[in-house]
Amino acid sequence: MRTIEPGAVFELDWRRTGEADSIVRVELISDEAGNVLVLEHARLEAHVCMRYFGFWEPRLDEFAQAIGGERK
């Protein structure tokens, strides 16, 4: 873990064989409608980054469904 702010942020090193190390940050931000989850996956080469869209999208959908929220 790189950063932990309970109830708000966690950030971790992401290591995968054959790829340069990257960083995943998940942040919860309160707004007038409730909470917004912000996912940032940084330090990726462009071709690797494009592959991760397919990885993260269904996981965010599953998370939204599990908590009774919606993805925007």
Contacts of 26 (CB under 8 A, 6+ apart): 9, 10, 11, 37, 38, 39, 40
Q: Locate the domains of the chain by residue range.
A: 3-66
* 49: nearest Cα among 72, 19, 17: 19
pLDDT band at 71 (very low <50, low <70, confident <90, very high): low
**Residue 69: pLDDT over 80:** no
Give the predicted TM-score (pTM) of the model.
Answer: 0.73
The dihedral over CA atoms of 50, 65, 62, 42, expressed in degrees to the nearest 10, equals 40
3-66 homologous superfamily: START domain (3.30.530.20)
Distances (CA, A) of 17 to 31, 41, 67: 38, 16, 32
**Residue 33: pLDDT over 80:** no
What are the pLDDT digits (tens) for 35-54? 888 889 898 888 887 888 88
